Amino acid sequence: MTVTRAVTVLLEDRLITFTRAVGLLRRRNLPVRSLAVGPTVTPGISRLTIMIQSDEATAERAVQQLQKVVGVRAAAAFPARDGVSRELALVKVRATGERYGELLDVVQLYHASVVDDSPEAIIVELTGSEAFVLSCIRALERFEVLEVARSGAVALELGLTDAGARVPANT
């Protein structure tokens, strides 16, 4: 069944290794929705999170192929609903005097916050699931959104499993 899945990759924190892993996604035509990469608590190791739209077999194959890349320490995949996925967005909105109160109401509704309060434009910060973030951006669109920066999603699987411990399936 085709659903949103998170593929998490722990890899050496070097551009060449990152290029190899991402190059693999391109070559295998994987249906990527978003990518996010950042450091981990282990020095020299980064975490790459890829949200894809696929069936289980495709995701498993992607994991096995990623594990073959020199520099990749571990890779795992899980359906998004079996974990928690979140992204961050910064939204720059024009600050118009009369509607400022209305704008703040929307910000509050989405548990977002105003992180910059310049006279012409404010910057709103929010975090949430992809759906939540999209909904907030749509709501803010009535106030003239000037620019949006979204981070892409990171995700963790529920329960005791972790990306570093996953061993490849051996049918």
Partner 1 sequence: MTGNLAAFARGAKVIHIELDASEVGKNVPVAVGLVGDARGILRELLEALEARHCDAWRAEIATFVRPRFESFKGELSAEGILGAVEDASHGRCTVVSDVGQHQMWVAKLFRYQRPNTHITSGGLGTMGFAVPAAMGVVMARPGEPVWAISGDGGFQMNMQEIATMVQERIPVKMAIFNNGYLGMVRQWQQFFHGRRYSSTPIWSPDYVRLAEAYGIPGWRVERGDQVEAALRGALDHDGPALIEFLIEQEANVFPMIPPGASLSEPIESEAVTA
Partner 2 sequence: MREQLTGSQILCRALLEEGVDVLFGYPGGAIMPFYHALPEYPELRHVLVRHEQAAAHAADGYARASGRPGVCVATSGPGATNLVTGIATAHMDNTPLVAITGQVPRAMIGRDAFQETDIIGITQPITKHNRLVEDVEELAEAVHEVFTVAREGRPGPVLLDVPKDVQNQKLEYAGGANGSARGATGRREGLIGRPTPTALVEAARLIARAERPLIMAGHGVILSDAYDELRTLAEHTACRACMARYTSTAPFNRPTSSSVSGSGSTTG
Which residues in this chain contact partner 1 in the complex, by CB under 8 A?
57, 61, 64-65, 67-68, 168-171
Q: Which does 23 bind (CB under 5 to 8 A by kind): partner 1, partner 2, none?
A: partner 2
Pick between residue 62 and residue 154 the one whose CB is nearest to partner 1.
Answer: 62
Among 19, 96, 108, 113, binds partner 2 (CB under 8 A): 19
151: partner contacted, choices partner 1, partner 2, none (Cβ within 5-8 A by kind): none
Beta-sheet pairing, 83-94 with 121-128:
antiparallel
Instruction: Show Cβ contacts of residue 69 under 8 Å, excluding neighbours closer than 6 positions.
Output: 11, 17, 20, 21, 24
CA-wise closest residue to 10 among 79, 71, 58: 71
Q: Which CB sits closer to partner 1, 65 or 135? A: 65
If the CB atoms of residues 19 and 64 are measured against partner 1, the closer one turns out to be 64
Q: C-beta of 21: minimal distance to partner 1 in Å?
A: 14
71 binds, among partner 2, partner 1, none (CB under 5 to 8 A by kind): partner 2
Q: Cα separation of 86 and 154, whole Å?
A: 6
- Judged by beta carbon distances under 5 to 8 A according to partner kind, the member of partner 1, partner 2, none in contact with residue 65 is partner 1
Segment lying near partner 2 (by CB under 8 A), choices 79-87, 89-97, 139-147, 163-171: 163-171
Cβ closer to partner 1: 6 or 63? 63
Binds partner 2 (CB under 8 A): choice among 16, 57, 131, 165: 16
Contact residue for partner 2 among 31, 53, 61, 73 (CB under 8 A): 73
